[in-house]
């Protein structure tokens, strides 16, 4: 299996809702990432998990809460989001060993905050 | 931190022509340079990458060249096809696990 899968594909939520995005990979990768991508912009790194531990947090607001239950799964918990948080949320994984940082992306979750 | 510039922002070519996209970076310690293709409604797809110990890498119609002295690298697509139409992002590894992306190039290949 050489895919990164993400669910749901689309999500619409109100500013008071709590929702979660899910990501899964079965490539044996030990690093997993969350990116945010606004329209016509490049992906922006949010979080990195390495060997199931949070290794990078790019000063992301606390209304985004990542979780890595095991080496294959990555969640992003959302609470009290703002309309400006509407974006494509991308998950990626990489081997996480040595200098090999080939990152493989999932298809993304299109999030709309009303 | 690392700064990556990408040009051009849009590129229109006729089918069969070649396309070249260029990126420059600022950190001379950077050593990994991937290129991604993103089609509408999809996530970025890794299409080719190069490490700082080589100057050129080729995979069928796609090639990447790296000039470490000048701190720039380029994507070359030959014999372009309509299915090559997409947004292309260069990226530079900054630190162990962080990729910094260029601003993207929208490539349009007309039949």
Q: Taking the CA atoms of A39, A44, A50 and A53 in sequence, report the sign of the dihedral they define.
A: negative
Three-class SS state of A47:
strand
For chain B, give the mean pLDDT: 94
Per-window interface: B 26-85 vs A, CB < 8 A:
31-32, 34, 36, 41-46, 49, 51
Which tens digit of pLDDT belongs to each residue from B73-110? 999 999 999 999 999 999 999 877 889 999 999 999 99
B15-51 residue pLDDT tens: 999 999 999 999 998 989 999 999 998 999 999 999 8
Tens of pLDDT along B49-65? 998 877 999 999 999 99
- Give the SS3 label for residue B83: helix
Determine the residue of chain A that is closest to B92 in CA distance.
A101
Model pLDDT, residue B52: 81
pLDDT at B26: 94
pLDDT band per the 50, 70, 90 thresholds, residue A1: low
| Minimum CA–CA partner of A57 in chain B | B98
DSSP string, A81-104: --GGG-EEEEEEEE--STT----E
């Amino acid at each position: 299996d050489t895919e990164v899968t993400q669910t749901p594909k689309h999500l619409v939520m109100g500013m008071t809702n709590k929702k979660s995005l899910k990501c899964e990979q079965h490539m044996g990768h030990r690093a997993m990432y969350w990116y945010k991508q606004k329209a016509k912009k490049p992906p922006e790194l949010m979080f990195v998990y390495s060997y199931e531990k949070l290794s990078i947090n790019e000063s992301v607001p606390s209304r985004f809460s990542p979780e890595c239950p095991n080496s294959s799964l990555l969640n992003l918990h959302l609470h009290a989001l703002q309309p400006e948080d509407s974006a494509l949320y991308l998950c990626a994984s990489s081997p996480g060993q040595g200098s090999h940082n080939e990152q493989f992306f999932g298809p993304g979750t299109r999030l709309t905050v009303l | 931190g690392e700064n990556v510039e990408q040009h051009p922002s849009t590129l229109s070519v006729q089918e069969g022509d070649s396309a070249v996209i260029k990126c420059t970076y600022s950190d001379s310690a950077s050593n990994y340079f991937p290129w991604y293709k993103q089609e509408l409604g999809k996530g970025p797809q890794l299409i080719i990458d190069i490490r700082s110990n080589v100057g050129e890498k080729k995979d069928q119609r796609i090639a990447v060249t790296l000039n470490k002295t000048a701190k720039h690298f380029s994507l070359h697509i030959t014999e372009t096809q309509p299915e090559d139409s997409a947004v292309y992002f260069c990226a530079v590894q900054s630190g162990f696990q962080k990729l910094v992306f260029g601003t993207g190039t929208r490539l349009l290949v007309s039949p």
